[in-house]
Structure 1
Amino acid sequence: MALEFPPAVVSLSLQNTVASYEQLLQTPSQRDAITTDFEMQVRAFGCELIESAGILLKLPQVAISTAEVLLHRFYYTSSLSKFGIRDIAMGAIFLASKVEECPRRIAQMVLVFHHLVSTRAHGVPPANYKPVDHLSPTWLDYKDGMIAAEINILAKLGFNVQVEHPYGYMINYLQSLGLSDDEEFSQIAWNFLNDSYRTNVSVCYQPWTIACAVIYLVSRIRAIPLPKNPHWYALFDAELEDMENIAGHIMWLYKKAPVRNLPTTVSELKAYLAKDDEIAETNQYGNRVAGNEEEKRGSAPRSPRRDERRRDDDRYRHTRRPEDDNYEDSRRHCDNRDSRRRDDRDDNRRDHARRRSPSRRDGRR
């Protein structure tokens, strides 16, 4: 007699991969002397390129969001100084379109990103933009960079490109809280959720926590009370500290002034950072024009000791307030005081030598 077993139901659910504490503490880009603020601005710019390209390519929102998550995951394993944001953004959306089963042609990707990079990063007016020629050196550079970026993303992430998004959680939570009929509340929450992908919260928290944070943020902005006994977010396995942190990351996007002409390739990034270093050196040492003229004439470079004296002088100068009317008088007073001290030391030496001169005449040693 054959045994009969009831049909088995298998449910497979994979949680999103989150960054470790060591990765959050110091990213590969920060180890290459790139500041945290600048890295987050470049990441946000890459996500902006992905969103604009997704709209032009008519990709679904889930594919656009998946590409943004893949971009953030990749830069927790690699540095901006080795992989440009343009190529990684192209590779991420090219790979995400395949993952979400809505692939686009390579030629379409190249044309769209060339238009976006030219108009938004390089400042070309849309009226003066000229599409890139097919199979031209620029076209091949974009294509090769995108394919290489897709391979690097798969290799660095270990082919783990599964992404669970918070959209479904947010819809269910709004229905549970009785807010799904409020169209304005739902629309603002949806906008905040889309904007959250420009930050790194998608690789720091699970999707249900992000959904709760968006609802929490909208409720605070619109002053809509939510259940407190018990707290509504406790029923959805979220914590208040995590929601406040996510809300702060989202609001950072609106408080931070946008930076124009950000570098999109590795060579542009090196030139950008070198220019920043030159500006910082100019602010520290003062006018650099004279130094450049000396270098052109073949003069010897400044000695470290001279730079140290200049730094000491600048440090003394910056301790005084520029708006102080007596600044110059105070500086002259300090110079006169030092001069008087030198004169006093010279007088003491002469007096000491005068007192010792009779003893020499007497023959005493």
Structure 2
Amino acid sequence: MMTSGKRSCWDIILSKKEASEDTPTRADGMPKFNEQQVRKAYVHMLYEVCKRFRTSPEVPMLAALYCHRFYAAKSMVRNDRFTVASAAIFLAFKVSDIAWPLRHVLEACYSSYKRLPEEDVKKVFMDHQEYYRSLKMKVLQAERALLYVIGFDFKPDMPTKHFLSKIKSFEHLDKEQLTHLRQICWNFANDSIKTTLWIQYSAKELAFAFIQVTAKLSNIDLPNRKSNNDDQDWYETEGVSIIRMQECTNDLLDLYSDKKKSGEKRPRAKQANADAPPAKKQAPKPSEDGMQHPDSSMHVPATPELSSAITATDSEHCKPCPGQDDHHDANGFGTGKSVDGFAGTAVHA
């Protein structure tokens, strides 16, 4: 594990093994493929919600990065994915100065999660106020858990800032080449945010890897040792080593080679959460102001579900996808019965 001088959670760069193999989720028995699918599912939901609110492209990336950092420390099996993702997008909206009430955000999240028209969701929330209040409280609790995991550091460094700035500095390229570089780098950002790469590399390393791969694939010449009559390539002058650049570009290209292998038979999702042992409850310590505040070990409660009679119209929208079992819905979120008595993911730290 690599860290820089300042102790922020965003300065903690995980190794590939830590980020994708030795995770709390894998320790709880979820297969690697299922963990990857859940990650892609909540990122997809975040993008759908942000599209409805017409946010900038950085907002869903910020929310996804919150989720990735959270699940680097907590298990997907024991902390409800829909609830965490909803809290992450609400927090990202606030950090980005997007003033939408929580109710509107939850309507959009629930619509994406259940694959229901938003008008139907509004009616459900209006007709079942107790259900809505329960969902709202769980998302607010998830937001507090998220804040503690990220150490109340709301604004991580983003690759988008670095590649946009660096591309501008390539004065030897024409307008068409610069536009092409920007567009493909955005594509790399949108694809890689669905993975753990954003917590395996710094924002600058990722941004420069996007540029390097794009330039090579597009036959665009960038400043190098020969053109500069120097002993450094363009990214080395910015503090990115050759080794890190090679590692990052290789991992980035691996994303696309893995897609070609997607036809391989994958293990069926298994019910990894139903038998999770209940966690010991610990009362939060009182703070100096005399109030009870949650600590970083708190867990995220499961998303409540309405009764089958109320959600009869939901069922046709929530059938498992081919290759999934009955404990995973069409969005890749768990639906096994939790210890709370709700139909949702088990919720322990």
* Short-chain TM bin: 0.5 to 0.7
Q: Say which is worse superposed, 261-270 or 77-86, in terms of deviation.
A: 261-270
Distance 1:163 1:266, change over 3 A: farther
Distance 1:84 1:132, change over 3 A: farther
Name stretches of at least 5 consecutive residues in structure 2 with no aligned partner: 1-5, 226-231, 264-319, 322-329
Distance 1:213 1:151, change over 3 A: same
Tell me what 1:251 maps to. 256
Structure 2 Cα separation of the partners of residues 61 and 193 of structure 1: 10
Q: Does 1:227 align with 2:226?
A: no
In angstroms, what is the RMSD of aligned CA positions? 3.4
Q: Does 1:148 align with 2:141?
A: yes
Structure 1 Cα separation of the partners of residues 335 and 13 of structure 2: 24
Of structures 1 and 2, the one scoring higher in RCO (CA 8 A, sep 6+) is 2
Tell me what 1:17 maps to. 11
Q: Does 1:133 align with 2:106?
A: no
Tell me what 1:82 maps to. 78
Structure 1 Cα separation of the partners of residues 99 and 250 of structure 2: 35
Aligned length: 257
Alpha-carbon distance, 1:107 to partner: 1.1
**Residues 315-354 of structure 1 mapped to structure 2, 5 A cutoff:** none
Structure exhibiting the larger radius of gyration computed from Cα positions? 1
Residues 272-316 of structure 1: CA deviation (Å, up to 9, x unaligned) = 99xxxxxxxxxxxxxxxxxxxxxxxxxxxxxxxxxxxxxxxxxxx
Residues 207-255 of structure 1: CA deviation (Å, up to 9, x unaligned) = 1111111112212322333333242222232233233234135436754
Contact map agreement 2:215 2:221 (CA 8 A) in 1? yes
TM-score, normalised relative to structure 1: 0.61
Contact map agreement 2:215 2:222 (CA 8 A) in 1? yes
- Percent of aligned pairs sharing the same letter: 21
**Residues 167-246 of structure 1 mapped to structure 2, 5 A cutoff:** 167-178=160-171, 179=173, 181=175, 182=177, 183-229=179-225, 230-238=232-240, 239=242, 240-246=245-251
Counterpart among 38, 41, 64 of residue 37 in structure 2? 41
Three-state SS of the structure 2 residue aligned to 1:264 is coil
TM-score, normalised relative to structure 2: 0.64
Three-state SS of the structure 2 residue aligned to 1:232 is coil
Contact map agreement 1:71 1:88 (CA 8 A) in 2? yes
Which aligned runs of 4 or more in structure 1 are off by greater than 6 angstroms? 12-15, 268-273
Distance 1:192 1:158, change over 3 A: same
Tell me what 2:325 maps to. none
Name stretches of at least 5 consecutive residues in structure 1 with no aligned partner: 1-11, 274-365
> Letter of the aligned partner of 1:247 in structure 2?
L
Contact map agreement 1:90 1:113 (CA 8 A) in 2? yes
> Letter of the aligned partner of 1:91 in structure 2?
A
Tell me what 1:330 maps to. none
